[in-house]
Chain A
Amino acid sequence: MQLLQEKGCFACDLSSPLQQRAQGARNALSSPSAPPPSHLRMPSKPHVEARVREIFMPALSSTMTEGKIVSWSKSEGDKLSKGESVVVVESDKADMDVETFYDGILAAIMVGEGEVAPVGAAIALLAETEDEIAEAKSKAAASATSSSASPAPAVEPVAPITPTPAPAPPSASSVPPPAPIDDGPRRTIATPYAKKLAKQYKVNIDTIVGSGPYGRITATDIETAAGKTPAPKPQPAATPAPVVAAPVAPAASKPASQTSTTATAVPGTVVPFTTMQGAVSRNMVESLSVPTFRVGYTICTDALDALYKKVKSKGVTMTALLAKAVALALAQHPVVNAGCKDGKSFTYNSDINIAVAVAMDGGLLTPVLQNADKVDLYALSAKWKELVDKARAKQLQPHEYNSGTFTLSNLGMFGVDRFDAILPPGTGAIMAVGASQKKVVATANGMLGVKSQMQVNVTADHRIIYGADLAAFLQTFAKILENPDDLTL
C-alpha cells in the first residue's frame, strides 16, 4: 500500500502542469501558460509566460476522452491567425478541423500526426512573436522528456513526503513494477481489450504479469492493476449456467464454521437477488421441466481414506480424488455423461468435464475440471486449487464454469450423511456425496466389523438415463473407490 501511494503521487508529480490545468480548461483551446510549479524542473522565464500559449486537445463530443491527430494543417513556424484551421482531430465520432482563437506562430508541435492525446493535453505551443519560439520549443522539449519519463522507475520521486493522498488519478500505474528479471526481451502478450484498458487507465502493460491462459494479460489483470473492480465479462456465455443447484461444498477446504453467507441477513427486509442468485433461481425453476429420479449407493471408503493419507502431502485434495473417480466411471458409462437438450435426442459429450459445486459468498459456482478422466490426479488437484482461487476472485472464465458435463456436490465436510441434489439444466446427472462415517457392518465372512462408509446419491434425467444405467454407473464408481489405486495412475 505504501508503495502504491507513493507511486500515485509520483505519477501526479510528473504529469505536466499543462495537463493538470487542462482538466479545468477543457474547452478553452488556448490559454496563457501558467508558471510551472516550483518542484518541476523546467526552464522558465516568468516574463514570457503569457506569450506562449498552448493548444489543447479539444473535447469534440461528450464521450470523447482522447483524440488522434489526423493531420496538422500548419507546420512549425507557420503564422496563424485567429479562426484559422490548425489541425484535424479525429475523435470517437468524426474528424474535425480545429481552429485557433489567437494570432501567433505555431512554435512547436508536441503531438505528431497519427499520435493520440487525451482531451485537455497540450498538443502544440503557440508563440506570440518569433522571439518566443525558442522558449516555446524548449518548453515543449522539457514537457516531452518529463512525460516520456513518467513510467520509468529510474526517476526518483521529487516529493518524498507524500502530502494528502492525491485523488489518485486513474493514471497511476499502481502495480509495483516487478524487476524485469527475465533474461532476454520478455514478450508481452495481452488481449485486445486488455490493451485498450491499459491505455484507458494508463497502466504500463509491460509491468503486468498476466494471469490468463498461457500467461497472457487479460482485461481483468489491467483492471486489478488499475484498482478497478473487474467488470463482469459483459457477455457471459450463460447456459449451462455458471451456477448449479443443490447444496454445495464451501470453497475448498474452508472449515465449515466459516460459511458466512447468512451473516448479512437483516430481519424484516426484502433483499433482491444478485445476478448470481437470479441465475440460480432461474436454473432451479428450469430444472422442474426435467423428469428426474434418484439412485443411492453406499460405498466403503477405507481404501480411499488410506490413499488420501498417502497423497495428501503431494497436494491432492479429496475433491480431485472424487472427480477423478467419477470421471473414470463416466468413461465406462457415457450415457451418464450425456445430456438431453431438445427432449428428442441424446447429446453425447466428447469430453468428461466434472463441475464441482462451490459455495461462494451469497451464491454458488461450479468450477469445472475439464477432461478429468485424462488429466492426472496431481494436475487435477493443482487445477482445482487454481479454479477455486479464481472463483473467489470472481475471475472464472465462462468455459471454466459452464462446460461441465456432470456435477459433483459434496457436503460431507459438514457431517451431512446423505442428501439429494437438483439436476443442473443441460446436464444428465449430478452426484451428491455425503460424509464418510464409521459404521458397524457385517463383513464378508459373517463377522461384525467397523468400516468407513459414505453414501452417494445421483440425480439423473430419466429421459436419457434409466435406472439400470445409474445402477451400473454407481457400481463401477464404488469399485473404483474401493480399489482406488488406479486413481493415481
Chain B
Amino acid sequence: METASFQASFLLSPAHRSSVSTATPHGLAFCGLHKNLLSVKTTCAKVGSHSLTTQNPGKSSSWRVMASGSSNNGTPSSFDYDVIIIGAGVGGHGAALHAVEKGLKTAIIEGDVVGGTCVNRGCVPSKALLAVSGRMRELQDEHHLKALGIKVAEAGYERQAVADHANNLALRIRGNLTNSMKALGVDILTGVGTLLGPQTVKYGKVGFTDKTVTAKNIIIATGSVPFVPPGIEIDGKTVFTSDHALKLEWVPDWIAIVGSGYIGLEFSDVYTALGSEVTFIEALDTLMPGFDPEITKLAQRVLINTRKIDYHIGVLAKKITPAKDGKPVQIELVDTKTKEPKGTLEVDAALIATGRAPFTKGLGLENVNVVTQRGFISVDDRMRVIDANGELVPSLFCIGDANGKMMLAHAASAQGISVIEQISGSDNVLNHLSVPAACFTHPEISMVGLTEPQARQKAEEEGFEVSVAKTSFKANTKALAENEGEGLAKLIYRPDTGEVLGVHIFGLHAADLIHEASNAIAMGTSIQEIKFAVHAHPTLSEVLDELFKSAKVGEHSPVSVKAEPVAV
C-alpha cells in the first residue's frame, strides 16, 4: 500500500496530468468498472478521466490510479481483489498460492477445469501412462531381467485400466490443486475471463449473466492448446492430438507421430511399450531438435534405434486424412524446404505433436490495446504485458505458455511467483536459464541452461572459453546395481570462472537429477563450490558429483571432448 500511495501522488502531479495519451481502451475499461462499483462511481469517472491523460509509457504508474481515487475518497479499497489470475493451470495456481502468502486478496478465474493443460491434458496424465510404459519395458526386457535373476512369465496390460489410472491421477491432482487454493482463501471464479481493461475482468458461463470484477493487478495465465498445422484434419479417433491420446482410447498397431519434440518422444515411449510401432515425422533435419546434439545422438540410439520406430526427417506432413471408408490414415509428405512430394504414408493413427499454440482468443486483449504475436502475448522480462505501441500495460501481466517464453508448467509457476514478488514490492526477474526441463522417456532426458552449440556461440560473441565435462552412468554404482548403466551427463562450463552454463543428462532418473545443476545456476554457485558438496553413496546423484569433480576450473589444459580412440 505504501508504494501505491506514493505512486498515486506521483501520478496526480500536474506534470503528468498534462501528458497526452491516445489509449482509449483504458477509458472504456473504467467504464466497465462503474457497473460494479456504484459507491465510487463518480470518483471512478473522475479518476478515469485522469487516467486518459496520465499514460506514462514504460513505467508502471497509471495502474495505481484507482488506489489513489479510493484513498482520496476514504474507501478502504475500491478493488475487489489485489490480484486476479485468469487461468487456473499450474502457472495460475503457483501465482495464487504465492499471492496468498504475500497477504494479497486473490481470485482465480477458470473457464474449464482447475489444473489446466498440465494436470488434465499434459504432464500429469502422461506421467501415469509413462509409469505403465516404464514397467512394461522392464517386464518385457528378458535380457535385463535375466541379468538380475528375475523370471517373469508374461507381461500384459489392460488398456482401459491404464487409461483409468491416468484419468484418476488427473482427477486427484486437480482435487489437490482446488483444495489447496480453497483452503488458503483464494476465490475460484468459474467462467471464461475477458479483460475489459487493465484492471477489470468480466467472467461468466455461456447462458449466464456475466459478472465483472476488478483487481489492482491482473495476471493472464491462459496457457496453450495443441497446435495443429493446416492441412491436418483431426477426427479425434485416428488423427488426434495429445489431448485425445492421453485418454488412451485404443492402442493402434502403427501410429505416426508428427513432431519429435518431447511430447512426441514421450508418446513414442508409451506406444512402443504397449505394442505399437511408431513412425516419426520431423520437419527439421534432426530428430529431437532442441536437445543438446550429443544427448540427441545417444537418446536416438537408445530410444529410437532399438525400438520399433522409424522416422522421416526434413519432411512436413502436408495433408493428413483420418481413416474412413475402409482406408487407413493417409499422410502426404513433402520436403520441408523444397516442398517437393516425398510420398504418402498409410498408418492406423496419427498423433499430432507439433507443439502448442497460445490460448489467448476471447481474452479481450483489444480492450487493453494488446496485439498478439502469432497468438502469444508479448511481455518484458518481468512478465509485464507490452501493448501494440510497445509500451507496458500497467497492472497487467502474462505468465506461462500464453507468453511463449518457456512453455513449461514449472516455468509458468516460477513466472507467476516472480510477478507476485514484484506486485509485493520486491523486484524479481526469473532467470530462465535456471529453469530445468525434462522428457520422461525410459530412460529420462533432462537439461538446464545452454546446449553446447548455444554455449559456444555465446562464448564466441562474448569472448570467453567453454569447456565440457562428461560422466557416464556406467561408472555409477547405483546405476550398475539397477543394471541401467546406459546414460551420460554432460556439463558445459566456463573454465575461467567455474560458472555452470548448462547441464544435460540422459539416463536413469535424469529428471530428478537435474536440480542440483539448476539450483547451482539459479544461485550462481560455481563449480569450485559445488564440487565439495557431499553426495550419499551409492546414489545416482553421484553422477553429477563426478561431473562437477571432473570439471577443470582455472587450469589451462583444455579438456578433450573427443572420445579416446579405440584400437581394434
Binding site for B on A (CB under 8 A): 27, 29, 58-60, 83, 85, 90, 92-99, 101, 187, 189, 191-193, 195-196, 212-214, 216, 219, 233-239, 241, 275, 278-279, 341, 397-399
Contacts and interface: CB of A to CB of B under 8 A. Distances in A.
Contacts of A219: 277, 308
B153 A278 contact: yes
B207 interface: no
Contacts of B563: 94-97
Given A191-B254, A216-B346, A235 B568 contact: no
Given A213-B328, A213-B348, A192 B279 contact: yes
B155 A235 contact: yes
A191 B306 contact: no
A213 B348 CA distance: 9
B328 A192 contact: no
A99 B566 CA distance: 7
A191 B160 contact: no
B275 interface: yes
Given A60-B566, A97-B562, A234-B140, A196 B156 contact: no
B566 A192 contact: no
Across chains A and B, which 5 residue pairs bring their CB atoms closest together, nearest first? A238-B156, A235-B275, A192-B310, A58-B568, A193-B308
A95 B562 CA distance: 10
Nearest to A96: B566
A235 B301 contact: no
Nearest to B472: A94
Given A195-B310, A214-B346, A234 B568 contact: no
Interface of B: 136, 140, 153-160, 251, 253-254, 273-275, 277-279, 297-298, 301, 305-306, 308-310, 327-328, 343-346, 348, 562-568
A292 to B, nearest CB: 20
Contacts, number: 103
Contact of A83 (B308, B564, B567): B567
Contacts of A95: 297, 563
B134 to A, nearest CB: 13
Contacts of A237: 156-159, 251, 274-275
A92 B568 contact: no
A278 B154 CA distance: 9
A187 B346 CA distance: 11
B275 A234 contact: yes
A436 B279 CA distance: 51
B308 A196 contact: yes
A397 B253 contact: yes
Contacts of B154: 238, 275, 278-279
Nearest to B141: A234
14 contacts: A90-B297, A97-B562, A97-B565, A98-B568, A99-B565, A189-B345, A192-B278, A192-B308, A216-B346, A235-B136, A235-B140, A235-B157, A237-B158, A237-B159
A154 B565 CA distance: 43
Nearest to A82: B567
A196 B160 CA distance: 30
Contacts of B153: 275, 278
Nearest to A234: B140
A129 B346 CA distance: 53
Contacts of A234: 140, 275
A92 B301 contact: yes
B137 to A, nearest CB: 9
Contacts of B297: 90, 95
Q: Which of B273, B297, B346, B566 is the most central at the interface, judged by chain A CB atoms within 10 Å of its CB?
A: B566
Contacts of A29: 568
Nearest to B474: A93
Nearest to A235: B275
Nearest to A232: B154
A98 B565 contact: yes
Contacts of B156: 235-239, 241
Contacts of A233: 275
A99 B309 CA distance: 32
Given A193-B277, A214-B328, A275-B153, 19 more contacts: A58-B566, A58-B568, A60-B568, A90-B301, A94-B298, A96-B565, A99-B567, A187-B343, A187-B344, A192-B254, A196-B308, A212-B253, A213-B348, A216-B254, A233-B275, A237-B156, A241-B156, A278-B154, A279-B154
Contacts of B309: 192
Contact of B566 (A97, A279, A341): A97
Nearest to A68: B305
B274 to A, nearest CB: 6
Contacts of A238: 154, 156-158
Nearest to B328: A214
A92 B327 CA distance: 37
